[in-house]
Amino acid sequence: MADITAAMVKDLREKSGAGMMDCKKALNETSGDMDAAVDWLRAKGLAAQAKKSSRTAAEGLVGVAVSGTKGAAIEVNSETDFVAKNAQFQEFVREATQVALTAGEDVEAIKAAAMPSGTTVADTLTNNIATIGENQVLRRARVLEVSKGAVVPYVHNQQGPGLGKIGVLVALESEASDEVLQSLGKQLAMHVAAAFPKALNEGDLDEAEIERERAIATEKAAESGKPADIIAKMVEGSIAKFRKEHALVSQLFVMDGKTKISDVVAKAGKDAGAEIKLVDYVRFQLGEGIEKETSDFAAEVAAASGVPQNKQPEPTA
């Protein structure tokens, strides 16, 4: 049996919202596998759906920029939030985002491209690490472009122009006026930031994730004791709901909570007298998918003082 620590239980509680004893049991049942423990809790109806990717664990900034009908988003990570407030770091992220507009979304291509100063992005980053004194990483980039229409940017938790904790791009193809597209794009981008869709259309959702949801739904439905045909319908109903809730076009617009995004776009096109197509989007949230190492502050202090954590210093006379 795996050694289940208090820290593991605490981590699972934060991820699942389940009770301490349920988390401990889940970890024991899954030999300490955190993801499997989350699934176990969900199958037992003891946890809400985990949103691990919305748990930010790295610092730094997301940058977004638009030029004409093309937009770029990048993420640059740092070790601490202090660096994200550093003017040199912010200028680097802003300029590197502009570079991505022409270099494309391949990280290595961006690193090899020249900054306004003439040095490459990679060399500038190396210099920043040396002068700021903290490791920094250009993690990822995406570029969207339409032949006609607009790519509309949005930054949530803005730290500076085009910089923040969440960066969104929405690509709209249309011959409607730029004013109409910018207004619609801003609303859609704010929705994307808040609703966290996993794909544009239901058919684009990751099939591996769908199968994982199917397994959870099957186990949960099986506990109902209903006939096999009813269970099958319950499972398919759960999967259909999952697809609708996580595909952008079928999500309910956060502004009113009742209109599908596809209908919002269709109405905007009808009102403008020109068809509008939502062709793509990007949502970068700082640190999603990265787990930061946690430290035991008491243990660090004890280690620094040379006093074992479970032993108090001898009293002085």
Q: Please report the pLDDT score of residue 45 as a whole number.
A: 74
| CATH of residue 16 | 1.10.8.10
Would the pLDDT of 17 be above 80? no
Same structural domain, 45 and 68: no
The CA distance from 151 to 184, in Å, is 11
**Which of these ranges, 12-26, 27-41, 262-276, has the smallest mean pLDDT?**
12-26
In a domain, 300, yes or no: no
Q: Are 58 and 77 in contact (CB under 8 A)?
A: yes
Same structural domain, 21 and 72: no
Q: Which of 24-33, 177-186, 298-307 has the highest mean pLDDT?
A: 177-186
In a domain, 231, yes or no: no
The CA distance from 40 to 34, in Å, is 10
Of 234 and 110, the structure prediction assigns the larger pLDDT to 110
Q: Please report the pLDDT score of residue 80 as a whole number.
A: 85
pLDDT confidence tier of residue 312, bands split at 50, 70 and 90: very low
Same structural domain, 81 and 162: yes
| CA distances, 230 to each of 43, 225, 287 (Å) | 18, 10, 41
Per the structure, the complete domain to which residue 29 belongs is given by 1-50
| CATH of residue 177 | 3.30.479.20
Would the pLDDT of 214 be above 80? yes
Same structural domain, 81 and 184: yes
- Domain count for the chain: 2
The CA distance from 174 to 104, in Å, is 23
The CA distance from 53 to 257, in Å, is 23
Q: Please report the pLDDT score of residue 47 as a whole number.
A: 66
Q: Please report the pLDDT score of residue 292 as a whole number.
A: 56
What average pLDDT does the chain have? 86
Same structural domain, 121 and 144: yes
Of 176 and 4, the structure prediction assigns the larger pLDDT to 176
Same structural domain, 44 and 131: no
Same structural domain, 106 and 46: no
Instruction: For tokens 């802003």, name the residue.
Output: 94
In a domain, 107, yes or no: yes
In a domain, 278, yes or no: yes
Same structural domain, 149 and 271: yes
Same structural domain, 44 and 177: no
Q: Please report the pLDDT score of residue 148 as a whole number.
A: 96
Q: Which residues contact 99 (CB under 8 A, 6 or more apart)?
A: 110, 113, 114, 115, 121
In a domain, 194, yes or no: yes
Above pLDDT 70, what percent of the chain?
87
**Which of these ranges, 59-63, 81-85, 117-121, has the smallest mean pLDDT?**
81-85
Would the CA dihedral through 304, 306, 311, 317 be positive or negative?
A: negative
Same structural domain, 23 and 110: no
Same structural domain, 67 and 17: no
Q: Are 252 and 259 in contact (CB under 8 A)?
A: yes
Same structural domain, 163 and 269: yes
